[in-house]
Structure 1
Amino acid sequence: MPVGYVGLGIMGAPMVRNLLRVGVPVHVWARRLEQAQRLVGDGAVPEESLASLVRTVRVLFLNVSDTPDVEGLMLDEGGIVANARSGLIVVDHSTIDPMRARHIAEKAREAGVIFIDAPVSGGERGAIEGTLTLMLGGPEADIDRIGPLLERVGRTLTRVGDSGAGQIAKACNQLIVGETLVAIGEAFALAEAAGVDPARVREALLGGLANSKVLQMHGQRLLDDDFVPGFMAHLHAKDMGIVANTAASLGLDLSGAERVRAALARALEHGHAYDDSTILARYCIPER
């Protein structure tokens, strides 16, 4: 039985190719036909409509930009829930509002559709190499059923809990990465102001408790002025909005999250929306 895929951008397209590479038949649909056609040479089968795609497959992957996109695909008239056969499993790799993910899952469940939130971390490189981290929320038995498919696109798969739990984990991920980038930006600024080479500071820190993947990868990006996007700044800003809204709905005041949002806002104001989100470290101090 073929699987379906909607969302064929910087993350979705290489994930589709990884499925095709191991012999999984993949049917695709995109509002922009050229996105689907680019995958035909890899073996993907384009569908003429979302409805025809939904009726063809038993597992459907989504990988789109934001909460309204997922809600529209799932719940709009003529969308996935309206056209699905009972038992369809929808795996959403998008990063969306956790509370809305729970709402979507409930509406899907009423129609006999299983909705699994499965946001990813690892960026474009992880998507290409099939080494993504997947944070999963949904029924354990259904996640286990599609485990062999998930293993084709990710290296680390963790069921965090019920519906929405994967999105909560992704929000935590974006918060930690963002605050770590702010800390690195401040550390490099401190070193420069004191007349010390930030590259040498980073080298020293890599051998101690401050070492992290963010310092390893994005610290070097900062030193190299390398902001070719793996994960774009405007998407990180969107994700930090999700963090802020979720925290507010739960009565939490996350001051660190607001500093990340402010740095990203300054980066976007200076024209860096489509640069890698590492750029936020350049704007963690307002006057920089």
Structure 2
Amino acid sequence: MTANANLPRIGFVGLGIMGAPMVRRLLSQGFQVTVWNLEPERASEVVPHGAIWAESPAAVREASDILAMCVLHAEAVRNCCFGPQGFDKASSGAKLIVDFSTVARDLTLEIAARMAEHGVGWVDAPVSGGPDPAETGTLTAMIGGAPADVERAAPVLSALTRTATHLGPLGAGQVAKTLNQAIVGTNYVLMAEVITLARRAGIDPALLPDALAGGLADSQILQRTYKQMASDDFDPPKAYARQLSKDMKALADFVVEQGGGMPLIDRAVETYVSYAEDGNAMSDAAAISAYYSKKKS
């Protein structure tokens, strides 16, 4: 598809499981997208679809009107912004960053403040949904930032999300994503236990999503992730365990910051992190069910 000159030029850094389909979605909607990734071989995921490869984050910024990131953690965000060829080294280009990464609020505020010194605004917009919604533009985004910056980010957010809620000032989106991960991570552990119990009791676990559909136990976790667990559909990974484990550790820190006293979350964090750190960091995030069944058998 030929780029639409009426749309802002997008610079996108991070071509992982989520970033690559997000870029393909933007390209399908007529955006010009310039990309960079730490592992350059990931360019093959998007360049054949029309993305333009750049040799550094700085070069991405210079070629763009709006910058977007979807990278693993705060260290990666910092490197993109302030590394040897980071955004801050560009002599011109985008004045707004939309960060789709999941990063703790205090680190988001710190990094954004440094970029503000270079005249660059920041919107934190962590997303939930997975690779398929990223490809179809139906992600859920939790937004933090100044209203004017969020308004400037609207073309990108509209193209990539079905739901994008502005929750407050910079960092508010990251708080909401932390709470999202509390629900998601705890449910991953719960679903692994339910599958294990069903098998022990002699019930085919694959029948439960249909049996419980429409009841109070129904959810996207049950209809999507649980079905993946019940069918042992883990290769290739749809998301890596290291990512959710990182988020669960951040959740534990957040709970402490808020005064603690959350035993269910504490136990879910302990269980999920143990799974990821027992040689499963690059396994599918949902494969905790297979691990759990083996450990409890």
Normalising by structure 1, we get a TM-score of 0.90
In the other structure, the counterpart of 2:173 is 166
Give SS of 2:131's match.
helix
Matched, 1:272 2:266: no
Distance 1:48 1:182 in 2: 41
Per-residue CA shift, 1:87-137, capped at 9, x if unaligned? 710011111112101111222223321111111111111112221111111
Give SS of 2:116's match.
helix
1:71–1:4 Cα change, 3 Å: same
The residue type equivalent to 1:19 in the other structure is L
Q: Percent identity?
A: 38
Distance 2:289 2:234 in 1: 11
Contact kept in structure 2, 1:87 and 1:112, CA below 8 Å: no
Distance 2:206 2:21 in 1: 33
Per-residue CA shift, 1:5-53, capped at 9, x if unaligned? 1111221111111111222111112333333355332222222232222
> Equivalent of 2:188, from 176, 181, 187?
181
1:31–1:273 Cα change, 3 Å: closer
Give SS of 2:111's match.
helix
1:110–1:59 Cα change, 3 Å: same
Describe how 1:1-288 pairs up with structure 2 within 5 A. 1-36=8-43, 38-76=45-83, 78-83=85-90, 85=92, 88-228=95-235, 229-283=237-291, 287-288=296-297
Give SS of 1:151's match.
helix
Per-residue CA shift, 1:45-94, capped at 9, x if unaligned? 22223222222222111111111111222234542234364871001111
The residue type equivalent to 1:151 in the other structure is S
Distance 1:91 1:133 in 2: 14
Comparing 40-49 with 151-160, which one deviates more in the overlay?
Answer: 40-49
Contact kept in structure 1, 2:64 and 2:93, CA below 8 Å: no
Q: Which runs of 5+ in 1 are unaligned?
A: none
Comparing 116-125 with 268-277, which one deviates more in the overlay?
Answer: 268-277
Contact kept in structure 2, 1:3 and 1:60, CA below 8 Å: yes
Comparing 119-128 with 221-230, which one deviates more in the overlay?
Answer: 221-230
Aligned CA-pair RMSD: 2.3
The residue type equivalent to 2:195 in the other structure is F
Distance 1:220 1:110 in 2: 47
Distance 2:118 2:198 in 1: 58
Give SS of 2:214's match.
coil
Contact kept in structure 1, 2:10 and 2:64, CA below 8 Å: yes
Normalising by structure 2, we get a TM-score of 0.87
Distance 1:65 1:283 in 2: 24
* CA positional deviation for 1:208: 1.4
Distance 1:246 1:86 in 2: 35
1:72–1:206 Cα change, 3 Å: same
Contact kept in structure 2, 1:54 and 1:83, CA below 8 Å: yes
Comparing 70-79 with 121-130, which one deviates more in the overlay?
Answer: 70-79
Comparing 201-210 with 9-18, which one deviates more in the overlay?
Answer: 201-210
Count of residue pairs brought into register by the alignment = 288
Give SS of 1:152's match.
helix
* CA positional deviation for 1:166: 0.9
Contact kept in structure 1, 2:234 and 2:286, CA below 8 Å: yes
Contact kept in structure 1, 2:66 and 2:94, CA below 8 Å: no
The residue type equivalent to 2:46 in the other structure is L
1:284–1:254 Cα change, 3 Å: farther
